[in-house]
Structure 1
């Protein structure tokens, strides 16, 4: 027997069916002639074997069991006292619960017809009367129909429970998938911010070094130092980001998350940028500090990449009541746009800020240059 077939069998039904089958063989042997007993025993064995497929092949299992019970009924009116006849309601329940809705309705119809035929066979068979039994047709019919109705109703209830469980599982899977997509987006934005900013600073420093006075050896040394420091910081942050992709990373492997305290050092990497702080700083969550830092980083990186050589940038951090406003402006040519290659520039910044209940607006200024304005609540807002 192949492995898939073994897995498809209901071993519980097989084990529980052994004593029932043994009792059926005993009843057939003492109640029926040898030929009839052999047929009843053979049909009972097939019915119990078919019942082992009730979960994996409910339609086939029910059809086989129903045929076997039909054989029992045709063999003798005493079929109703053979214990293996109990395989029919079990198979009816299984096909109603695990088959299609049409399968359940068809099985119920077969059950009703079987109850009518079984009642007629039991009441009119001479062998029943020979055993001294005087069954009442109405009582027998109502009993058999009640068994069919109760079994079918129980199967329908189980079918509904299974459908609800599957729907809950599907919703849970969708929530996990959505969370995974959000996490991938967040990590992609982090990687874009780190890589784009670091490379822009390195390229800008290298370009500026080409036009310096060759007699001043301190300039290339300072430039190389800046490039080295930027590269080291980028590598450290990349290790932290990539650590999130490896079982969540270990605390010792993750680089510190940038915060507002790192903003002055960030601005110093851009010789043409200046930082101004207005108002009294307030406590801010790490997520909001990171969002503001990344917004400033993205805006200054775009100044280097898109606003023309020598463009000056102004970074203004304004602390208002319950709100922090970051504004980055430059006097370049005003053509700053999302980086088409990366696709995660200003759109990624908006994604991060809006997820925290803030707003991010970017666009060219009327007087020339480009402006990015980020507004964030300093505390979680009620929604």
Structure 2
């Protein structure tokens, strides 16, 4: 039913490989590792890290780290946005209707719980610690879809309704994470007028190359205009719009890795969603799915380098942020998912999927506590490079311990595995 092993091998194994290489490299030869990560590709460039020169003018330097995190990771977030978009707007979308209500409530709890635990413990540690780490409150809100889904299948079995519940929660979590990145973690001084460029590029792509040809083809079964646009122009109008949108996000001060998000809804797509990881998705030939298929291998390589340039944390880089991120995930997630899920299922009467128990919510919360990819990303934008950022990254890496916690929770809750 689901191509989980293919997804994990395609999008996760290279990421893990890059992270492991980074961990070994930085602990064996830290100077050469950091020189590699901050390698300057182009100085005084039109994109890159902004800083002021001697005359007070903005000067941009394109480094390898910027190229990976701010430019190429836009492809990864575009794929995530595509799945969220289809889940919300298309017929049979997994985040539509009453079936998604309880998972959405649980998602809200799975984000509120980690924030409260993170900031609450930070406040107990004292004002100095709180001031140093408070900006990282969003790091433990993340859920790594691929790894959490894999662990969920192992704990519950592929046929258990809790697996689908977990998947809905993870997709909604990703959607909320994208909003948090855009709103709370700008990459520079805000100049929101530049968003007009992103909006105009996306609107032009949609109207000229999507909506207009379809309107011109009304009553024409051959759809000559739409066919001509697709065969002759293909993905290029949307690639150009994506570049303009990305540049608009960068100049607006929003994180440019989110710069492709406005263009995703403009691309012609299928009229229904088959679900994340569904085999049927590989056989769809609408332009949006074809672009996702074409990005598969490039994104694999991007994720390898993302792990390589972001997971290089020295083993002694453990500090308050490590504990806060870790506890926010392994305590805040299960508590939040369980409480909010119970409120939705029982007092609000929204119910749970048939065959799923309230206690399963706690196990789902443990599984969703694997933050890794997105937690690492948020850590890099929440803190400047240094001890606090490294400590927060270590907490994100340690979130893999949530997998062991999930197995224990499954045993304690007497989860009965159900095969596909």
State the TM-score bracket (shorter-chain normalisation). Answer: under 0.3
For the pair shown, which has the larger CA radius of gyration, 1 or 2? 1
Q: TM-score when scaled to structure 1? A: 0.24
Q: Which has the higher contact order (CA 8 A, sep 6+)?
A: 2
- Structure (1/2) with the larger strand percentage: 1
